[in-house]
Chains A and B, each alone.
Chain A
Amino acid sequence: MILLTVEDSAIVRKIIRRTGEALDMEVLEAENGLQGYDMISACEGNIDVVLMDWNMPGMNGIELLKKLKADARYRHIPVMMVTTERHPAQIIEAVQAGAAHYMMKPFTIDELSKKILECLGRGDQNEFRQKLHHE
């Protein structure tokens, strides 16, 4: 299983790497949306989950999400936003753009692990959409 983290903070990338490796995943890292898109292209879409920040230099996370979901080669890849942005309008924008999950910083390793597994279909992902529906 391959996890790609697209995140401009080296520390957050390191936390995600540690979490992914603890879940027996191979972890790839990109520092911004453009680099992330290049890595996804280089892997020909063979990535199991992408975790991406919202605010990054160059191409930001929401732009990359929309680009992936508009491309038939990559739209199957589940994407989770991992960001400090938490305004309901932004969460809705991300979900409407096709985000499988939305994680707000700060987070615990347990929360992160659980949501990665949910993105992979190994948890109760419906819980997230049900919560959104109720809000």
Chain B
Amino acid sequence: MSSDKNSITNEQEWQMLGQALSNVLQTMSGLEAEIAFVQPADWPLNEIEFSGFMVMTRVRPSVLTISATRPAIMTILSYMTGEMPDELSEQELNDGVCELVNMVAGEVKSRLNDSERAYGLTSPIAAQGSSLRFSLKNGLETFDAFVTVDGLHLKMSLYML
């Protein structure tokens, strides 16, 4: 990592977000995350159901999303709250995925505070559904991470607008 905070690249910021996601999951739930930056062949993209979004506001804004399958978010939140997975409401599942994206974006925000890549954050937004797809204009960079936690699946994406 460069010692010049102003020279942080998109890729380096993305690596920070990956580390932050691992840290948030480990700290809040005790679960270890395995992160792949290329989609594994058997990764069940169509089973993604809960998504949380935050806009990182700056000169060139970005959108950070964390999406999860139902079993993944239920398991993670169950570990976080100490409740049985089936005791969590739909509202709590949506709220939980938003809180994950909030903590990940918040952790990296503090590391970039004094750099030219400093950003503000909007409130998180939740979306529920299994066929959510983003389509960006040509030339805009997108980063994807495929996360496996206790055999369950999440996806984190960063869209550089």
B72 on interface, CB distance cutoff 8 Å: no
Give the number of chain B interface residues (Cβ < 8 Å): 25
Interface of chain B, main secondary structure: helix
Within 8 A of B (CB), among A36-70: 55, 57
Q: In the complex, what residues of A have CB within 8 A of residue B80's CB? A: 11, 15
Within 8 A of A (CB), among B2-46: 23-24, 27-28
Neighbour of B99 across the interface among A12, A85, A107, A108, CB < 8 A = A12
21 A-B pairs within 8 Å (CB atoms) are namely A9-B95, A11-B80, A11-B92, A11-B95, A14-B81, A15-B82, A18-B81, A18-B82, A55-B121, A55-B123, A83-B106, A84-B102, A84-B106, A84-B107, A85-B110, A86-B106, A86-B110, A105-B102, A106-B27, A106-B103, A108-B28
Mark B94-127 against chain A: 1 for CB-CB distance below 8 A, else 0.
Answer: 0110110011011101100100000001010000
- Determine how close the nearest CB of chain B comes to the CB of A18; give it in whole angstroms: 5
Q: In the complex, what residues of B have CB within 8 A of residue A55's CB? A: 121, 123
Q: In the complex, what residues of A have CB within 8 A of residue B95's CB? A: 9-11
A134 on interface, CB distance cutoff 8 Å: no
Q: In the complex, what residues of A have CB within 8 A of residue B92's CB? A: 10-11, 14
